[in-house]
Amino acid sequence: MSHHYSGPDYGFPHGDARLDLTDLYAFSKPGDPTSSIFILNVHPSAAVNPPGPTTDEPFAPGAIYELKIDTDGDFVADIAYRVRFDTDKSGAQTATLCRAEGLQAAGTGDDGRIIIENAPVSTGNEAQTTEAGEYRFFAGWRSDPFFFDTQGALNDLQFTGDDFFAEADVCSIVLEVPNSALGTGKIGLWQRTIDGTGGKWVQADRGALPSQSVFLTGEKKAEYLSGEPADDARFVAVFAHSLEHTGGYTSEQATRVAKTLLPDILFYDPARPVSYPDNGRKLTDDVMDGFIAILSNGRLTGDNVGPHKDLLSSFPYVGAPHKARSAQKVAA
């Protein structure tokens, strides 16, 4: 189910829904080949274990939400876009977006050059966006664009075509970035959340490709979520063991397939057409049909669930939330 519910027992990392990554998208800005759109989705509005709604507060003020970008193919970040949130006495949140490069980008922290600050966070139907030069930014509640029969997956892949996310919301961070800020050629992307509530920065969740952390990490889940793509080769055996179980692969087959799934990075070249899993990911890409085929060794090829119809043709591209939360802070 994408990266939803990547914590223990289909729960949330560090027990906090606001730190749970769901999906990462990367595609060229429609009608403008000089810019790219990155969407980091976090905080599912509906929990699986235990079932029920999550908190209405969109983002965790004591956390960092980060897009990591590798520009030279070594699976180490050369650029990082970092977002932190503040909450005022009324409960309204604002966001600060920073860009870090080099060793700062590869490390952990809230440092970097400020691009946007005090951007309003949306909680109602209207999408409040902020612009700074060639950058555009949005953060807030939106309709979850992910589509999948979650209950069927949890019931031994017995799919009924019931989209668990049809009426669900998620918190989106949407960035419009000039391609000139991304280097040249193919880049590698992943997202992560950093929890600072304990007095030091601790990685709570990370990922790029859908469902791997949920279905393939086994007893190594906590180690995987706290890890880095550059070290992902150590999880090949863990992934292979899971694939043997779910798909009946031989040991050799499972190892070969596992190596194609790691490192956990979404590759993207702004100069090429977007086509998951080879290049980026669109909001309408049916990523789970492909993953189901891998998981089941071709026994199953889909869950009979299709893309949502409430997507927007312009920024921020994700549809309005199904539920309006607390009153929005009005930008000055």
Instruction: Please give the C-alpha separations between residue 216 and each of 6, 31, 211, in angstroms, as whole numbers.
Output: 11, 38, 8
* Residues 6 or more apart in contact with residue 185 via CB below 8 angstroms: 269, 271
Q: What is the CA radius of gyration of the chain?
A: 19
What is the C-alpha separation between 323 and 326, in angstroms, rounded?
10
Residue 84 near residue 93 (C-beta atoms within 8 A): no
Tell me what pLDDT residue 277 has: 94
Handedness of CA 134, 172, 68, 120 (dihedral sign): positive
What is the C-alpha separation between 233 and 261, in angstroms, rounded?
10
Assigned token pair, 89: 């006495």
Assigned token pair, 47: 């929990």
Phi, psi at 282, each rounded to 5°: -90, 165
Beta bridge partners of 101: 79
Mean pLDDT for each 10-residue chunk of the chain (332 residues)?
Answer: 73 94 97 97 91 94 97 98 95 96 96 97 96 98 96 89 94 98 96 95 96 93 96 98 96 98 98 96 96 95 95 98 71 38
Tell me what pLDDT residue 143 has: 98
Tell me what pLDDT residue 56 has: 95
What single DSSP character describes residue 275? B
Assigned token pair, 67: 């897009």
Tell the burial category of 165 from Cβ atoms under 10 Å away from its Cβ (0-12, 13-18, 19+): buried
* Residues 6 or more apart in contact with residue 168 via CB below 8 angstroms: 44, 45, 46, 143, 144, 322
Report which residue type is found at 12: F
